[in-house]
Amino acid sequence: MRHFYFVLAWVFFGLGAIGAVLPGLPTVPFMLLALWAFSKSSKRFHAWLESHRVFGPPLRAWHLHRVIPLKAKIVSITSMALSMAYMVRYTHMPTWLLLLVASLMLYGAWFVLRHPSVPKS
């Protein structure tokens, strides 16, 4: 089972890394899933991801305080809105699929906005 979690961790890490440069695909949720899967498979890679120069700080902030930094909130909400606008304008997706994507993005926005941006004192 350890090998399964290890492969899963790298899949989540890859999706999160792609999400760091591709609007509409989230980064931190995939990195959180990668961190969880590494915790089940490899202490070494769990420590590596938690102390990663780029991905480590938001993961530690979430782990310690359940905080989503304001910059991350702005980027995520903006990228979701722009992605939705692009899909509506430039794709020929069926209406039911657009509504499904919009509802998933609304849930993501709600989740991001309901958490604090700074740790409670």
Segment 6-39, tens digit of pLDDT: 999 999 999 989 988 876 677 878 898 999 999 9
For the cut 90, the answer to whether the pLDDT of residue 46 exceeds it is: yes
Q: Give me the pLDDT at residue 28, please.
A: 79
Provide the CA 73 distance to its chain's centre, in angstroms: 11
Contact by Cβ (8 Å): 34, 12: yes
Instruction: Give the list of residues 6+ apart from residue 17 with CB closer than 8 angstroms, or none.
Output: 27
